[in-house]
Structure 1
Amino acid sequence: MFILKRNNLKRNNQRSQHAVVSSTSNSNCRNLWRLPHVFANMLELPFHSHADVSIEETPKFLRFVASCNSNINKFNANAGGVRAQVIEILPGITKIVIEGMNGSNVTEEYHHQQQQQYLRHVVDIWRFRLPAWTRPELVTAVCSGGKLVVTVPKSKGD
């Protein structure tokens, strides 16, 4: 079993691993940001990108656990909790988002609250690029005991 915590580094005027520098010799070069959906599978959790999320990897699944104490009422008030919704952006490219059981988008609701409080943008969201051997169509999400637990199964061959 493999457990780690991921916490994004702050981007205080430092070149990020996500930045691509223009090849022009112009002194006004701008960093071009890669699009977040230009890979096969991605998981989005309804937390800021700097949130502490525990990632557990076993031979059968990847499990993501995050504390949702401040959001527990919102997660559980919507007709019994949350669910994972798989969205196919393009054929072969999927995104997993967490939404309320009544179909409300928990991520948008969460960031709407945060924008009012901190004037932040929706792009500041916790994302994880899933490996090719995961099965996003079988993902599960549960919010209980103050923890949001998202489990992504792996393929049988891996």
Structure 2
Amino acid sequence: MKLTKATEDNVTLIQDLARRSWKNAYADILSDDQMEYMLSEMYSNTELESQLQNPNYHYYLILDEDNDSYEGFIGYEHNYEDKTTKLHRIYLIPESKGKGLGKLALQFLNEKVSENGNERIILNVNKHNAAKKFYESQGYRVYDEGVFDIGNGFVMDDFLMEFLIHD
């Protein structure tokens, strides 16, 4: 596995990987309408280009070198809060699940967070998303929960999780 820094040239690829992974991850959690709304808002060209131009926001594509194919991506933002990086996105296409790519991507994130001088990683995970167990297996813990209005009559009902970096 190799992580490669994404650029504005990769916007279409990120959108495709997001759509493919979301259809699998959220099929039993979100309505089709909410999924389409969130994908169109969170992964619009404008939104992704803005994030890619932010010096604190980083996207990396997850490349399976054995198959020479992109299997997913990770998006995070350093200094989201004091000494805290927010993991905004980590998604893998369904065919790549169980290969250890998610674990390797989180280890990569830990290194990047340490290099940046942040001491904590936070993320939101849907309360019904099986990924919560994955995060817990990697040392994350729930520290709060929240319901967030995302517009168009939709909400995100999430656990807030954190991981403390120990050098």
**Higher relative contact order (Cα pairs below 8 Å, separated by 6+ residues):** 1
Query: Given the two structures, how large is their TM-score scaled by the length of structure 2?
Result: 0.25
The structure that is helix-richer by fraction is: 2
TM-score by length of 1: 0.26
Structure of higher CA gyration radius: 1
